[in-house]
Amino acid sequence: MSLELKGITKKFGSLIANDSINLKVAKGEIHAILGENGAGKSTLMNVVYGLTQADSGSIWVDGSEVKISEPSDALNFGIGMVHQHFMLVPVFTVAENIVLGHEVSKRGILSLAEARMKIEQIAAEFKFEVNPDELIENLPVGVQQRVEIIRALMYDAKVLILDEPTAVLTPQETNELLNIMRTLKSKGTSIIFITHKLREVKEVADQITIIRLGKVVGSAKPNASEEELANLMVGRPVDLTPNVAKSKMGEITLKISNLSVSNQTGRTIVNNISLEVKAGEILAIAGVQGNGQSELVRAIMNLEENITGSIQLLGEELVGKSVHQTIHSGVAYIPESRELDGLVGTFSIAENLVLDTHGLAPFSRAGQLSASKISDTATKLKTEFDIRAQSIYDTANSLSGGNKQKVVLARELSRQVRLVVACQPTRGLDVGSIEFVHERLLVERNSGRAVLLMSTELDEVAALADRIAVIYRGEILGIVDANVSREKLGLMMAGIR
Amino acid sequence: MNLIQKIKKNVLIPFFAFIFAFFIGGLVIVFSDPEVMSNLKSPSKFLTTALSKIGNSYLAVFQGSIFDINLARGESFFKGFYPLSETIVTATPLILTGLAVTLAFRSGLFNIGAQGQFIFGAIGASYVGFHFDLPPVIHPIVAIITGVFLAGIYGGIVGLLKAKTGAHEVIVTIMLNYIAGFFILWVLKTSVFLRPGRIDPLAPEVNPNSRLSQFLGEDLRIHVGIFIALAAALFVWWLLKKSTLGFKFRAVGANANAARSAGISIAFVTTSTMVLCGGLAGLGGAVHVLGTEYALTNNIGGSLGFDAITVALLGGAAPLGTVIAALLFAALRTGGTTLQSNTGTPAEIIQVIQALIVLFIAAPALIKGIFRLKQSSTDKTLTAKGWNG
């Protein structure tokens, strides 16, 4: 089935999210739509899937014009969509989730037999490994995504829209997804692949359309270079491989010895880890998500409850201190989730910038906040960190992901800092923002601070790290030099030395 | 955000909820009145009697709560404001308990316990009021401080339990309300509190020196408590908007994880919030005893602690909103008595209207739909957490 969009325009107030976009997806083609966050990719797909209506323009399926006013129309025309945030009920089984909204009942009792059969049939056809009776909450993210794909295929989707499907996946899961996409393509399914990750596009796409600021700015074949694609996407030359000149390492800044962390149920999550990070180096903690790296980092910040062992910052013991004391002994903390742990969404940018220092002079005097001092500092940091917002009084919620992260960086790096702890600092960010964050971390390193980078992105680890510590099941499997091969690193992350 | 946007965001929904509740209330008045309904066969007569019934009823509410022309025609025009004075007297403790709920909301806590905290404030103030003999001005101050102190501790227990053990504040405050309710019964039967010559639960009247001055003369019951309540509202506004402590409160209320990651101690915020909330509700109790009731009874709290929750919600968990909402509620309550005596419409209709206002505030989509208000993306900070919070 082929899909064609002609002159799609969608406005939100004065903002033109889509400006007469034309797009043609052939049968059995993987068509990548590449663009930064906020370029209008998701809006376009919401139009196609019937979640919102275009102001003008038309949608053509197999050469005839169709009207899609809600998702059920899209499904009827064979258009399926897998959203970035899965629409699954965690306490339901795979089969229950798949029949949700299309339940078949026999004498008032839910019948899953048919669905189960069909799921197994699809799983076999496309080589998915999915057990229809497993609860969603027990499945890894990658498998949950497969359930979403199966759901689309169950209703005979001939065009499958994947909205940022790899944002939540580990490298292994990403590779598996790319394979699934190839299989789907070979069976004649067309795929619209929305992403901002260049490597994946080059690997799997047949045709690439690049969208910037609501307009199609170009199309490319997958043999275009990453630089070419990035330039089109961002609209200016981009440096994808930050210059990692060897830095001068200094004294040991962070010394972790025999650190163990257990969770509330008493299970050991971090098991007897010892590490050192020197001033002027970036030590990356690489590993598949869920291997204890989050807890390790949270332990350094004293955000975990049950910690044994020792964490020393320039000889000063951190274990047992409060979070406040830890922060102000010279640790910058960029948490894994900006929205959950980094920012207060309903607070203004200015308030978020002093979230850690609001209680100290000059921001607080005699128990009262100094609005002028806070706004001075916020204005200064807004310029320094290039936070794109109309005003420092805009809420953090109103910012794009990249600008949110800039607020976090601005706050954390503007303190007196000896150690930077950065967790997944570029997750979900666009190319321009990733570049900014990477440069900033290198600046920190080059100015003699120690950087502990926790990341599940191999690209990021490879681009930034001086040394790489691979974490597996709560233990450090080994510490390797930055020039180790991707294959070796991938194997280590899977627990093979 | 400019002023007009602010007004649109914070005032429009309550305003229309108010209008709509009165509209429905009018329908209820008509349909529950057999006299009006007996005219149903003649539409024109039905319409005129119905409208006059509604008009008279709401006029009576106005007369009973704001200004009564009949009283003004008598010895002095000034006396016409007697109902307004009554409204303010009723509103004074409600403002303070309302603030106790509002402040908690902003720290992400749901304080159901204003009732119990109010009772402890009343007990403390009453004891100092009748037991000691202090000079004027000093006496009420000492009495109020005692009440606020006791209630602050009582509120603080909740915060401490939550901070140290994770006990949910809703459960704890509900239980502490029971304890306070029975504690006051017991206290009133002890020899310390029992009024000489009486056996019913009634404490002695507080010393005249300790009473809050009725600054408009003996005829009007309005007393300086209203200024204390307004000052408290101003304090809460300053606390939330300007103070360092309030910044911590709001940060924890809006996103506890981010606040914690930035070094703000959740335990400290929870405990100090609840101490302050207890103090505010206790101030309400103290002011009520020293300004209005004079003698402590086991029913001193009435439903003030629970109405406080409604008032705080109606006021959008903002100090000024809470003050306005408390005045509104008090006006409806004082107006309700006149409604019954003047027009025969049952005073319970006021409770119907109150309930409708709350319902419409709680379901803003309904009001937005009916009045075609533009859906705005509201950045709401008012969110008490659920059971897992």
Please write the tens of the pLDDT for every residue from A88-135: 898 999 988 988 877 777 888 888 888 888 888 888 887 777 888 889
B7-18 in b/e form (b: 16+ CB < 10 A) is eeebebbbebbb
Residue A445 lies inside a defined structural domain of this protein: yes
- Do A57 and A101 have their domain in common? yes
State the pLDDT at residue B382.
43
User: Which domain covers residue A252, as residue numbers?
Assistant: 239-330+416-497
State the pLDDT at residue B114.
97
Q: Which residue reads 């969603």 in tokens? A: A136
Distance CA(A57)–CA(A59), nearest Å, equals: 7
For an interface test with B, the pick among A302, A323, A363, A398 (most B C-beta atoms closer than 10 Å) comes out as A323
- Do A223 and A368 have their domain in common? no
Residue B293 lies inside a defined structural domain of this protein: yes
Residue B375 lies inside a defined structural domain of this protein: no
- Do A288 and A356 have their domain in common? no
CB A242 within 8 Å of CB A482:
no
Say if residue A362 is preceded by a cis peptide, omega within 30 of 0: yes
- Do A364 and A484 have their domain in common? no
Q: pLDDT of chain B along its 389 residues, tens only?
A: 466 666 666 778 888 888 899 999 999 999 988 888 888 888 899 999 999 999 999 999 999 999 988 888 877 788 888 999 999 999 999 999 999 999 999 999 999 999 999 999 999 999 999 999 999 999 999 999 999 999 999 999 999 999 999 999 999 999 999 999 999 999 999 999 999 888 889 999 999 999 999 998 888 899 999 999 999 999 999 999 999 999 999 999 999 999 999 999 999 999 999 999 999 999 999 999 999 999 999 999 998 998 999 899 888 899 999 999 999 999 999 998 889 888 888 889 998 998 898 888 877 777 777 777 665 444 444 444 444 43
Residue B98 lies inside a defined structural domain of this protein: yes
The angle formed by the CA atoms of residues A478, A480 and A484, to the nearest 5 degrees, is 130
Residues of chain B numbered 216-255 and touching chain A (CB < 8 Å): 242-245, 247-248, 250-251, 254-255
Residue B336 lies inside a defined structural domain of this protein: no
Structure tokens at B379: 């950045």
CB-CB under 8 Å, A356 with B262: yes
The gap from C-alpha B29 to its chain's centroid, in whole angstroms, comes to: 26
**Among A323, A328, A368, beta carbon nearest to B244:** A368
- Do A381 and A463 have their domain in common? no
- Do A14 and A53 have their domain in common? yes
Nearest CA in chain A to B238: A368
Residue B252 lies inside a defined structural domain of this protein: yes
- Give the closest-approach CA distance of B255 to chain A in angstroms: 5
Residue B302 lies inside a defined structural domain of this protein: yes
CATH for A150: 3.40.50.300
- Do A171 and A59 have their domain in common? yes
- Do A410 and A422 have their domain in common? no
- Do A316 and A431 have their domain in common? yes
Residues of B within 8 A of A324 (CB-CB) are 263-265
Q: Which residue reads 């409208």 in tokens? A: B51
Element housing B39 (H / E): none
Residue A339 lies inside a defined structural domain of this protein: no
For an interface test with B, the pick among A346, A363, A394 (most B C-beta atoms closer than 10 Å) comes out as A346
Distance CA(A154)–CA(A100), nearest Å, equals: 12
Residue A338 lies inside a defined structural domain of this protein: no
Number of structural domains found in chain A:
3
Residue B222 lies inside a defined structural domain of this protein: yes
State the pLDDT at residue A155.
82
Residues whose CB is less than 8 angstroms from the CB of residue B137 and which lie 6 or more positions away in sequence, other chains included = none
- Do A454 and A491 have their domain in common? yes
State the pLDDT at residue A351.
96
- Do A132 and A10 have their domain in common? yes
Residue A279 lies inside a defined structural domain of this protein: yes
State the pLDDT at residue B96.
98
Element housing B294 (H / E): none
- Do A132 and A68 have their domain in common? yes
Residue A343 lies inside a defined structural domain of this protein: no
User: Which domain covers residue B242, as residue numbers?
Assistant: 90-324
Q: What is the ipTM of this complex?
A: 0.86
Residues of A within 8 A of B316 (CB-CB) are none
CB A284 within 8 Å of CB A486:
no
**Among A327, A367, A411, beta carbon nearest to B244:** A367
State the pLDDT at residue B71.
83
pLDDT digits (tens, 9 = 90+) for A17-57: 899 999 999 999 999 998 877 788 888 999 999 988 999 99
Residue A160 lies inside a defined structural domain of this protein: yes
Q: Which of A361, A385, A414 is the last residue of a domain?
A: A414
Element housing B211 (H / E): none
Distance CA(B375)–CA(A129), nearest Å, equals: 44
The pairing of strands A306-313 and A364-365 is unpaired
In Å, what is the CA distance from A76 to each residue of A70, A162, A190?
Answer: 10, 18, 16
Residue A345 lies inside a defined structural domain of this protein: no
State the pLDDT at residue B379.
40
Residue A222 lies inside a defined structural domain of this protein: yes
CB-CB under 8 Å, B243 with A369: yes
CB A10 within 8 Å of CB A18:
yes
Sheet with A282-286, strands from edge to edge, namely: A331-334, A419-423, A450-455, A282-286, A467-472, A475-481
Number of structural domains found in chain B:
1
The length of chain B in residues reads 389
Please tell me if residue B8 touches chain A, with a CB cutoff of 8 Å: no
Element housing B205 (H / E): strand B202-205
CB A219 within 8 Å of CB A209:
yes
Low-confidence ranges of chain A (pLDDT < 50): none
